[in-house]
């Protein structure tokens, strides 16, 4: 009876991982389309949208305020999206956040070593160090949470 439950849990985990992989592929495709629209420049689309709003409003909306409002909306959308994830997808979601943090740490290491590759400011190095620190904590915490979640599926010794 217990092996049936374990097998069902494994199948549910596989289905959740497949769903997460499909979502990640769709997000990658959407990001590629957005980069194409932006002309290959990451901020190109945001700059164009900010300039369009600035022009359409007759100069009443500052592009900085426009970007800030998008950032705040992204925070709310991200919060509600993450809290609506079913429990079966939490482990794959943690794995994805660990992967994102590893990308952040690569960029942060580049910011810390900016003097090695070119001219940089102490401010860039300071922010880079702070980003390395926060990303390291996030990666370590993510692995601990993932380990705890995976331990729930192991048989208990008596």
Cα angle for residues 138, 143, 144 (degrees, 5° grid):
100
Contacts of 22-28 with C-beta under 8 Å, sequence gap 24+, read 24/96
* Rounded Cα–Cα distance for residues 67 and 62 (Å): 9
Q: What is the pLDDT along the chain (158 residues), one digit of tens a residue?
A: 556 677 777 788 788 777 777 766 766 666 666 556 555 555 566 677 777 766 777 777 777 887 888 889 988 888 887 778 777 776 677 677 777 777 888 888 887 876 665 666 777 788 888 888 988 888 888 778 778 877 877 777 66
Q: Which two tokens stand for residue 65?
A: 């305020």
Calculate the CA 138 to chain-centre distance.
Answer: 11
- Closest by alpha carbon to 54, among 70, 45, 43, 66? 66
């Amino acid at each position: 009876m217990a092996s049936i439950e374990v097998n069902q849990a494994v199948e549910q985990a596989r289905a959740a991982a497949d769903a997460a992989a499909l979502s990640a592929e769709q997000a990658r495709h959407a990001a590629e389309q957005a980069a194409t629209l932006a002309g290959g420049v990451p901020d190109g689309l945001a700059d164009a949208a900010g300039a369009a709003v600035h022009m359409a409003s007759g100069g009443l909306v500052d592009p900085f305020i426009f970007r800030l409002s998008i950032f705040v909306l992204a925070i709310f959308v991200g919060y509600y999206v993450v809290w609506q994830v079913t429990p079966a997808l939490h482990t794959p979601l943690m794995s994805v956040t660990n992967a994102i943090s590893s990308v952040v740490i690569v960029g942060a290491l580049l910011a810390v070593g900016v003097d090695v590759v070119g001219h940089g400011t102490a401010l860039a190095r300071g922010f880079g160090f702070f980003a390395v620190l926060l990303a390291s904590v996030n990666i370590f915490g993510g692995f601990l949470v993932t380990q705890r979640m995976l331990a729930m599926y192991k048989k208990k010794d008596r």
